[in-house]
Structure 1
Amino acid sequence: MAGKRRGRGSSVQQQQAPQNKRRGPCRAPREPAAFAKSTGCEPEIPHEKLSIAQAQRGTPAHRPVRVYADGIFDLFHSGHARALMQAKNVFPNAYLIVGVCSDELTHKFKGYTVMTENERYEALRHCRYVDEVVRDAPWTLTTEFLKKHKIDFVAHDDIPYTSAGSEDVYKHIKEAGMFVVTQRTEGISTSDLITRIVRDYDVYVRRNLQRGYTARELNVGFINENKYRLQNQVDKMKETVRTVEEKSKHFVYRVEEKSQDLISKWEEKSREFISNFLQLFGPDGAWHVIQERSGRMLQALSPYSSPRGSPSSSPTRQRSDSPDSSSASASPPSSPSSPSSPKNGTRSSLKSTSTYSGHVK
C-alpha cells in the first residue's frame, strides 16, 4: 500500500511538473524566498528583452517579468512591505527579486544600521511578496549585474536618490526605459523609527533595565544606571498611588451610589408612611370615623348623666338624689291636676293636716 501511494504521488508530480514549468517559478506560502545564486540566473530558455507595453499586456506563464527592487531595509516595516507589494503587482506576471546591501556598503555610504545584514536578509526572505533575495547587492546597478540576474525592470520611488557622489543613482536605469515607479508610504520610515528611539532614549533604557538587561549591555554608566533605577522606583510608587487612588474613587463612587439608593428608598417609604398615616388619622381618616361610630354606640347603650346643679329632666332621678330638699325649690307646687304618685300624695296630705292642727291649738 505504501509503495502504491508513493507511486501515485510520483505519477501526480510527473503530470504536474509540465504545468508548473509553464506557470513559471512558484513557492509555497509556508516557505521563505530563496537566495539568488552567486552565478546569477540561468533560464532554460533565452532571455529576451521586454518593453513596458509587452510586460503590461502579460507574458507567458513560463516567462515572468523579472522585476528588481533594492534597498537597505533596516528595521523592516510596513512602508517597505507596501513598496514591495507595488513592485510585485506592477505587471500581471511578475517575479520579484530584492537586493539587500551589506553592512559594509551601508556603513560606508549611508550610516550605521540597527539590524545586521543577516537579520535584514532573513526579514526580506519572509515577506510574502518576495520571490528571491540577492545578498550583498551593489550600491549602484551596473549593466553586468542586470544581465547576470536577467532583470527586466527596476522598481523604486521616483524621488531622486542622491548617494555615492551621484545626483540620482537610478538615472541610467530611467534613461534605458527600465524604471517603474512605486509610491512611498507617508508617516513611516526607518529614520522616523530611529528618531523615536533617540527621542525617548531614557524611557527605553529604563524599560530594558527593568527587563533584566545590564547597564553594560545598554552602555550606561554607573551614575545614569542608578538614576534610571531610582526613576523606575519613583514611577512604581506613582503607579501604586494611582492604583490606590483609582480604587478609592471606585469605592467612594459605590458608597455614593448606594447612599443615593438608600435615600431614594427612604424617601419613597416615608412618603408611603405619611400617606398611610393621613389616611388613618387625618380629618377624614378611618380613625375619626371609628371614634364617631363607637361614641354613638356608647351613648346609645349608656346615656350620659346630668351634672349637679343643672335642671334635671327626670323628676324621679332628682328626688332620689336629694331627698331632704324642699318641694318648693325642687319642683313647682303641685296642682290638683298634676299627676303624682299615691305615696307622695299621702305624705303631703299628712303634712298639711299636722300644720293645720298646730295652728288650731
Structure 2
Amino acid sequence: MVQRDENSANPAEWTAEEIQAYTRRVIDGLERKPYKLNEPPEDRPVRIYSDGVYDMFHYGHALQLRQAKLSFPSVHLVVGVCRDDVVERHKATRPVMSMTERCEALRHCRWVDEVIPDAPWILTDEFVREWEIDYVAHDDEPYPGIDGTEDVFGFLKKQGKLLPTRRTPGVSTTEILGRVVERYRRGDLDRKLEKIGRSELISRFYSRGRRSWLW
C-alpha cells in the first residue's frame, strides 16, 4: 500500500484501509504528533464525536465525517450541532440554515449514526464523559479560546482523545457563500429569482438609487 502525504493528499482519495493505517500510525507515535492517542476499545464499537456548525452542508463536511467514521473498523459516530444564536455570538453572523435544517442534513449523511442538537461551542470533560466519547475528531491545529485558553482541545490531547482529521482543500462554507455573492453581483441568479417569484431580490433592482446591495 502506498503511504500518502497527509498534508498534500486530498482526503477524498483515501481508502478505508489508508485512513485506518494512518490512525494506527498516530497511536503508535509514528506521525510525530506532540500528543498521544489512546488505544481503542476492543469489546465494542469506538465512540467518536465530531461537532461544528455544518452550515450549507458540503462535501468537505462529509469527507471529515468519513475520516472519523472509517478511522477504525467499527465506529459509532456522534455529531454535535451548535445552536443558531451560539454560532452568531462566536462567528458574528447567523448560519444560513437553521439548527433544525443542519441537523436534518447530517441525519441523512451515510457516515453519521447519531446527532446531538444544541451542542456546546467548547467541549468540556463532563460532556465527553456524559456521552461516553472515546475520541473527538478534529484537525489538530491549536484553537485559542475566548477566555485566553491556548488550545480548547488541549485537555483532549493530554487525555489521548483527540483524533486528528484532515481538512479538504478548496472548499468551505465561506468559499461557497462567496461564489453565491459573486454570481449574484453578475446577475446570474436573476432569472432564477424571477422564476420563483422573488423579483424584488433581483440584483438590478437592488443596485438602483441611494442604497446598493451589491456589497
Report if TM-score (shorter chain) is over 0.5: yes
Please state whether the residue corresponding to 1:158 is helix, strand or coil: coil
State the Cα deviation string for residues 220-242 of structure 1 (Å, max 9, x = none).
685648xxxxxxxxxxxxxxxxx
Give, as a single letter, the amino acid of the residue that structure 2 aligns with 1:213: G
Asked if 1 retains the 8 angstrom alpha-carbon contact of 2:37 and 2:157, the reply is no
Please state whether the residue corresponding to 2:51 is helix, strand or coil: strand
Give, as a single letter, the amino acid of the residue that structure 2 aligns with 1:214: R
Aligned partner of 1:209 in structure 2 is 193
Q: How does 1:192-271 map to 2 (within 5 A)?
A: 192-202=175-185, 203-216=187-200, 218=201, 222=205, 224=207
Aligned partner of 1:54 in structure 2 is 39
| Separation (CA, whole Å) in 1 of partners of 2:173 and 2:70 | 24
Pair 1:53–1:209, CA change in 2 (3 A): closer
Pair 1:222–1:189, CA change in 2 (3 A): closer
Q: Pick from 118, 121, 140 the counterpart of residue 139 of structure 1.
A: 121
Matched, 1:178 2:161: yes
| Separation (CA, whole Å) in 2 of partners of 1:220 and 1:162 | 39
Pair 1:145–1:174, CA change in 2 (3 A): same
Percent identity between the two aligned chains: 45
Q: Pick from 123, 126, 149 the counterpart of residue 105 of structure 2.
A: 123
Pair 1:54–1:210, CA change in 2 (3 A): same
Please state whether the residue corresponding to 1:200 is helix, strand or coil: helix
Asked if 2 retains the 8 angstrom alpha-carbon contact of 1:124 and 1:130, the reply is yes
Pair 1:198–1:223, CA change in 2 (3 A): closer
Task: Please tell me whether Structure 1 or Structure 2 has the larger radius of gyration of its CA atoms.
Answer: 1
| Separation (CA, whole Å) in 2 of partners of 1:64 and 1:207 | 50
Please state whether the residue corresponding to 1:134 is helix, strand or coil: strand
Aligned partner of 2:171 in structure 1 is 188
Pair 1:109–1:79, CA change in 2 (3 A): same
Aligned partner of 1:72 in structure 2 is 53
Aligned partner of 1:97 in structure 2 is 78
**Count of aligned pairs between the two proteins:** 171
State the Cα deviation string for residues 13-63 of structure 1 (Å, max 9, x = none).
xxxxxxxxxxxxxxxxxxxxxxxxxxxxxxxxxxxxxx95531xx622xx2
Aligned partner of 2:4 in structure 1 is none
Q: Which runs of 5+ in 2 are unaligned?
A: 1-35, 209-215
| Separation (CA, whole Å) in 2 of partners of 1:162 and 1:124 | 27
RMSD of aligned Cα (Å): 2.4
Asked if 2 retains the 8 angstrom alpha-carbon contact of 1:156 and 1:180, the reply is yes
Following TM superposition, by how much is the alpha carbon of 1:188 offset from its aligned partner in structure 2, in angstroms? 0.8
Matched, 1:157 2:139: yes
Aligned partner of 1:148 in structure 2 is 130
Pair 1:222–1:185, CA change in 2 (3 A): closer
TM-score (norm 1): 0.44
Please state whether the residue corresponding to 1:54 is helix, strand or coil: coil
Asked if 2 retains the 8 angstrom alpha-carbon contact of 1:82 and 1:185, the reply is yes
Q: Which runs of 5+ in 1 are unaligned?
A: 1-50, 226-361
Give, as a single letter, the amino acid of the residue that structure 2 aligns with 1:54: E
Asked if 2 retains the 8 angstrom alpha-carbon contact of 1:67 and 1:96, the reply is yes
State the Cα deviation string for residues 125-181 of structure 1 (Å, max 9, x = none).
000010100100000111211111111110101222345344432122112211010
Pair 1:163–1:215, CA change in 2 (3 A): farther
- More helix as a share of residues: 1
Pair 1:80–1:70, CA change in 2 (3 A): same
Structure number with greater CO (CA < 8 Å, separation at least 6) is 2
Pair 1:160–1:223, CA change in 2 (3 A): closer
State the Cα deviation string for residues 242-283 of structure 1 (Å, max 9, x = none).
xxxxxxxxxxxxxxxxxxxxxxxxxxxxxxxxxxxxxxxxxx
